[in-house]
Structure 1
Amino acid sequence: MITFDQVTVRYEDTAEPVLRGVDLTVEEGELCLVVGHTGVGKSTLLGAVNGLVPHFTGGTLYGRVVVDGRDTADHPPRELADVVGVVGQDPLDGFVTDTVEEELAYSMEQLAVPPATMRKRVEETLDLLGLADLRHRALHELSGGQQQRVAIGSVLTAHPRVLVLDEPTSALDPTAAEEVLAAVTRLVHDLGVTVLLAEHRLERVVQYADRVIHLPGDGRVVSGTPAEVFRSSSIAPPIVELGRAVGWSPLPLSIRDARRAAAPLRAALSAAVPPPVRPVPGGDRPELLTARGVTVAYQGVPAVREVDLTLHGGEVTALMGRNGSGKSSLLWALQGSGPRKAGTVAVSSDGPKSKDPRKLSAAQARQLVGLVPQTPTDLLYLESVAQELDQADTESGVAADGVRARTILDRLAPGIPDTTHPRDLSEGQKLALVLAVQLTAAPRVLLLDEPTRGLDYRAKSELVRIVDGLAAEGRAVVISTHDVEFVARAADRVVVMAEGDVVADGPTTEVIVASPVFAPQTAKILSPLPYLTVAQVAATLPADETDPDS
């Protein structure tokens, strides 16, 4: 179905090719998982399948890419639209209509699908992705996760033979992600659709993959079965890391298989007390932000209902809940830029009195509460990465010996050239740049809305270290996220929202281990033992019971 024949892709402003000598054949009906660290060329590989690389992105492609008998050198993307469906990292970039129903029908209109068939496919897709209640909603009113599902649905209605998905679950809560992946696997197994799927949250998708395509970062591509590739790959989900650490062979790829293999491990750990994932906050933890009765409504429809929340210095709080539960609306209300129908927000300042960020200028509010939005490009407006970083240093008044924005960026996503335009970065790199900009100001309270979207495991580890450092300085950090693995490593406390209400609030171990939806992989494998991460297991087991090569 898809053949790469000695494919090399080089962009004008790069010293080395992004892809080098790639030979790859993807058979019909395969689900291929494309993995690799941020910026190694996953999007380039996917873009070459439908001709976006190089027809749209520029650069030079050497070799041949053939899809269903069509050479992409001779067929631009518009001539492959009936064969290849593509969903990019940012769904908003691909929307061309106003409402959900119109967007689902648009691609079929361009392919001249008969009206009766169009109506039938729209209804099928609405049910398939759980969008029926949103059919008449404006696209800009949807949450990020809802927009992602619409973007996937708009491609599925054309019934392509090849489906290319670039991080399709990055904005989805665990339940919605499972629904989308179940729909994708049905397309593979029931209709023989070929799927190439790039995803950083490997724990969600690895059990569905027929094959893994790993990009190590030097332009090469390593292809094989999941067990073969993950045995030695530089990137792997927690379930594989646990298997490596304790020497399981073959490596389990599903929770069921791992639990079957883990009975001796659970017995060995049963008498031990797991070490804390994060340093236990000690000393005086002052109240930095106090919210009472916060209510947010849009056109009379409540999004946040009388929420009370207190944030303490030195504490990292994870804000969780399904898409549309009100998490982002609450963050914007706390920051002061978003609407607030009722309630109060008071942030501790250097003076004797607390201040409401809503009543301050934007510059003053930023010194008290910083917010990184779901769409990071909202905060990028200059012509180069260097200009964005310099502007951040200037606005934040970074001292000569202080931590500069470039230092933070290199820890999150190393290797981004100063001259690159921010809009030319991958989604993960854009997010890393905005994180660097906001973290440079180091406000007393930092609110992060889906900060791990587009970040690989290495970048998430760096973000954990940065968040730990901010908490150690006495700052309060709130992270709104669907990434349960990140929460297990980063958060002291978890607040769960549903339909605008807070339905759970407590220590991380108590809240997420008790939930079948929000529990991380290690917790599911070792339940009922209270382990959250592979690092806890490795620190507890004697050295001779772990794999020396892990």
Structure 2
Amino acid sequence: MIHFDQVTVRYEDTAEPVLREVNLTVEEGELCLVVGHTGVGKSTLLGAVNGLVPHFTGGTLFGRVTVDGRDTAEHPPRELADVVGVVGQDPLDGFVTDTVEEELAYAMEQLAVAPATMRKRVEETLDLLGLADLRHRALHELSGGQQQRVAIGSVLTAHPRVLVLDEPTSALDPTAAEEVLAAVTRLVHDLGVTVLLAEHRLERVVQCADRVIHLPGDGRVVSGPPAEIFRTSSIAPPIVELGRAAGWSPLPLSIRDARRAAAPLRTRLAGTTPPPVRPAPAPDPALLLKARGVTVAYHGVPAVREVDLDLRGGEITALMGRNGSGKSSLLWALQGSGPRKAGTVLVPATDGGEDGDPRKLSAAAARRLVGLVPQTPTDLLYLESVEQELDQADAESAVGSEAPAAREILDRLAPGIDDATHPRDLSEGQKLALALAIQLSAAPRVVLLDEPTRGLDYRAKEQLIAIVDDLAAQGRAIVISTHDVEFVARAADRVVVMAEGDVVADGPTTEVIVASPVFAPQAAKILSPLPYLTVAQAASAFPRDETDPAR
């Protein structure tokens, strides 16, 4: 179905090819998981499938890419639209109509499909993806999972043989992600659609994959069965990391298989106490932000309902909940830029003066008190190069001994980004890293991060954890809104869960996420009922067997 023959892709501003002499064949009806660290060329590989690379992105493609017998060098993307359907990282970016039904019909209108056929295909797609009840709903009113299913449906109506998905679950809560992956798996098994799926949150998708395509970062592409590739790959989900540490063979890729393999391990670990994931918080930490009765409404509809929240120095709080539960609205209300219908937000003064409300301060003053990185990092990027963005951030932040330079922060999050690169040319993960560097350079006392792990690989997440740990050690308060349960297990002291604008749970990380089958990390599910949250905790407690170094 898809064939890469000695494909090399080089961009004018790069010293080395992004892809180098790639030979790859993807058969019909395969679900291939494309993995690799941020910036190694996954988007380039996906873009080459429908001709976006190089027809739209520029650069030079050597070799030959064929899809269903069509050479992408001779057929631009518009001539491949009936064969390849592409869904990007943000479904809203691809919508061109107002309602679900209109969006499903749009691609067929462009392909001049007969009206009677269009109607039939729309009905089939609505049923296939479980969207029939939403057909007349406005797209902006849908949840993240519903939007993602509509985005997939909008390309399916053209009856493509190949579906290319770039991080389809990155912005979704665990339940919505399962809905989307169930729909994708059904397309593969019931219709024989070939799927190429790039995803950083491998714990969500690895059990669905027929094959893994790994980009090590040197331009090569390595392809094979998931268990074989993940045995030695530089990037792997927690379930694989635990299997490696425990010496399991073959490597389990599902919770069910891992629990079966872990039965002897659970027996050996019974009665042991896992080491703490994070250091114990300092006694009597300073109160850095006090919110009381915060209420946010849009067009009379409540998004946040009378929320009380205290944020203390040295504490990392994870804000969780399904898409649309009010997390982002609460963060913007705390930061001061967002609407607040009622309630108060106060940042206690440190010099004996009056408490400050970020909403009533100048933008520069508010940023030093409460800094926020939004879900869409490009909202903060407006200059012509990475260097200009970093220099501007340092100038506005008056970098001193308290805060590292923006470039230093960026290099820790996403090393190797050239100063001359235009911010809009960065990958989604690199854009987020740059936005984080800009905001953190001001060293605000309270740091609010809205979905900061979106687009970040495991290595970048570890760097992000190190940075927020440093901020917490300096006595700052950090709130991280996220759907990434594995990140929360490693990074957070406290978890606050929202639903329909209300806070429904607030407590220590171990108590809140282990009690929920939705939010529990993979290690907790595999080793339950033992109180382990992370692979590192479990590995540190493995009994040493001198005859088996793997253990």
Instruction: Give the TM-score taking structure 2 as reference length.
Output: 0.96
Q: 1:100 to 1:341 in 2, by over 3 A?
A: farther
How far 1:341 moved relative to its partner? 1.1
Tell me the equivalent position of 1:479: 480
Tell me the equivalent position of 1:6: 6
Q: Give the ranges of 4+ consecutive aligned residues of structure 1 lying more than 6 Å apart after TM superposition.
A: none
Matched, 1:367 2:356: no
- In 1, distance between residues paired with 2:283 and 2:128? 51
Secondary structure of the equivalent of 2:480? strand
Tell me the equivalent position of 1:173: 173
Aligned residues of 1:90 and 1:427 also touching (Cα < 8 A): no
Aligned residues of 1:146 and 1:323 also touching (Cα < 8 A): no
How far 1:275 moved relative to its partner? 0.6
How far 1:312 moved relative to its partner? 1.0
Tell me the equivalent position of 1:319: 319
- In 2, distance between residues paired with 1:263 and 1:12? 54
Tell me the equivalent position of 1:20: 20
Tell me the equivalent position of 1:339: 339
How far 1:260 moved relative to its partner? 0.3
Tell me the equivalent position of 1:531: 532
- In 2, distance between residues paired with 1:476 and 1:401? 15
Matched, 1:260 2:260: yes
Aligned residues of 2:291 and 2:346 also touching (Cα < 8 A): yes
1:82-110 Cα shifts (integer Å, max 9, x gaps):
00000112333322223333222211211
Q: 1:444 to 1:234 in 2, by over 3 A?
A: same
- In 2, distance between residues paired with 1:331 and 1:122? 38
1:269-300 Cα shifts (integer Å, max 9, x gaps):
11110011111112221111111111111111
- In 1, distance between residues paired with 2:547 and 2:79? 53
Q: 1:129 to 1:447 in 2, by over 3 A?
A: farther
Tell me the equivalent position of 1:65: 65
Secondary structure of the equivalent of 1:453? coil
- In 2, distance between residues paired with 1:147 and 1:364? 37
> Which runs of no fewer than 5 residues in structure 1 stay unpaired?
none
Aligned pairs for 1:242-391 within 5 A: 242-351=242-351, 352-391=353-392
Aligned pairs for 1:141-220 within 5 A: 146-220=146-220
How far 1:545 moved relative to its partner? 7.8
> Which runs of no fewer than 5 residues in structure 2 stay unpaired?
none
Aligned residues of 1:202 and 1:236 also touching (Cα < 8 A): yes
Aligned residues of 2:246 and 2:550 also touching (Cα < 8 A): no
How far 1:199 moved relative to its partner? 0.2
Q: 1:505 to 1:189 in 2, by over 3 A?
A: same
Tell me the equivalent position of 1:395: 396
Name the amino acid aligned to 1:274.
P
Secondary structure of the equivalent of 1:317? strand
How far 1:149 moved relative to its partner? 3.7
Name the amino acid aligned to 1:507.
P
- In 2, distance between residues paired with 1:245 and 1:350? 47
Aligned residues of 1:538 and 1:546 also touching (Cα < 8 A): no
Name the amino acid aligned to 2:466.
R
1:317-374 Cα shifts (integer Å, max 9, x gaps):
1111111111111111111111111111111233432211111121111111111111
How far 1:22 moved relative to its partner? 0.3
Instruction: Give the TM-score taking structure 1 as reference length.
Output: 0.97
Name the amino acid aligned to 1:403.
P
- In 1, distance between residues paired with 2:58 and 2:523? 43
- Number of paired residues? 550
Matched, 1:451 2:466: no
The range that moved more, 530-539 or 91-100, is 91-100
- In 2, distance between residues paired with 1:333 and 1:136? 32
How far 1:134 moved relative to its partner? 5.2
Q: 1:117 to 1:230 in 2, by over 3 A?
A: same
- In 1, distance between residues paired with 2:117 and 2:529? 50
How far 1:549 moved relative to its partner? 6.1
1:365-414 Cα shifts (integer Å, max 9, x gaps):
11111111111101100000011111111111113795111111111111
Name the amino acid aligned to 2:471.
L
Tell me the equivalent position of 1:226: 226
Sequence identity (%)? 87
Aligned residues of 2:403 and 2:441 also touching (Cα < 8 A): no
Tell me the equivalent position of 1:519: 520
1:467-498 Cα shifts (integer Å, max 9, x gaps):
11111111111111110000000001111111
How far 1:112 moved relative to its partner? 2.2
- In 1, distance between residues paired with 2:82 and 2:329? 38
